[in-house]
Amino acid sequence: MPNLATWMRRSDEKYFAPFLSRYAEVKVWNAAQGNVPFERMNGLLLTGGPDVAPEFLNQPVPDPSVIEKDVNPDRDRWELNAIKSAIEGRLPIFAICKGLQTLNVALGGTLHLDIAGHNLPDQKTHDVQPLRSDRKTRYRFEKVNSSHHQAIDKLGVGLEVESWCASDDIIEQVKLRDYPFALGVQYHPERGKIYDELFDDFVSRLRNSLNREP
């Protein structure tokens, strides 16, 4: 049975449940609810949430008012350590929204701390934001349901951009170069109906990771 590590808010469980229910063999370990024995994990899912706490950012915060009030340093600390352990073990990583930002920070990158036009009501659950993608991008979506107020500025070490917002070039999708599977998306595939291939591929990598165990 593949073991999947995550930190997931209760409010997000209803969005991920339809996808995760398709993979009954995957055991989800939620660090928000208890200890996760990372040495037994086969992959890492980084989900959405509040801003990364300023103490973990690789940059100054000139205007603290742009940072959300409900930051969770305990979560950030756990996720940053989990990313380090996952990369050391070359485990599959799927990073969504805040998860993408945390992955970028873990790899030494910086963030745009407040951007306009990416947190409109229709963007939360409707695929309305047009993308443009690199011609080599494996997962290409014409429009996505991207809702956020922060985004990648300077890329973390090893990350490559696959897709951008078509209107303002905000980074919406990245991968970790020369790595079995580490995909980061700024949009919310757990809230849409067109993203099955992302979850299917990620879970197939979990199975492969399980098979690599001695």
CATH number of the domain where residue 156 is located: 3.40.50.880
Give residues with Cβ within 8 angstroms of 165, minimum separation 6.
118, 129, 130, 131, 146, 172
Position 121 confidence tier, pLDDT thresholds 50, 70, 90: confident
Give the per-residue pLDDT at 214: 43
Our answer to whether residue 112 is catalytic in this structure is no
Q: How far apart are CA 87 and CA 206, in angstroms?
A: 14
Which of 79, 162, 172, 190 is labelled catalytic?
Answer: 190
Count H helices, E strands: the chain?
A: 4, 11
Our answer to whether residue 190 is catalytic in this structure is yes
pLDDT, the chain, mean: 94
Domain of 196?
A: 3-212
Q: How far apart are CA 16 and CA 35, in angstroms?
A: 20
Task: Please state the pTM of the whole predicted model.
Answer: 0.95
Burial of 129 (0-12, 13-18, 19+ CB in 10 A): buried
Which of 79, 165, 172, 188 is labelled catalytic?
Answer: 188
Domain count, the chain: 1
Q: Which of 176, 36, 193, 185 is nearest to 101 (CA)?
A: 185
Which of 79, 97, 148, 162 is labelled catalytic?
Answer: 97
Give the pair of three-digit tokens for residue 54: 């300023």
Our answer to whether residue 148 is catalytic in this structure is no
DSSP 8-state symbol, 142? S
- Compute the residue count for the chain: 214
213 has pLDDT over 60: no
Q: What is the pLDDT of residues 13-71, one digit of tens each?
A: 999 999 899 998 999 999 999 999 999 999 999 999 999 999 999 999 999 999 999 99
Q: How far apart are CA 202 and CA 204, in angstroms?
A: 5
Q: What is the pLDDT of residues 169-212, one digit of tens each?
A: 999 999 999 999 999 999 999 999 899 999 999 999 998 887 65
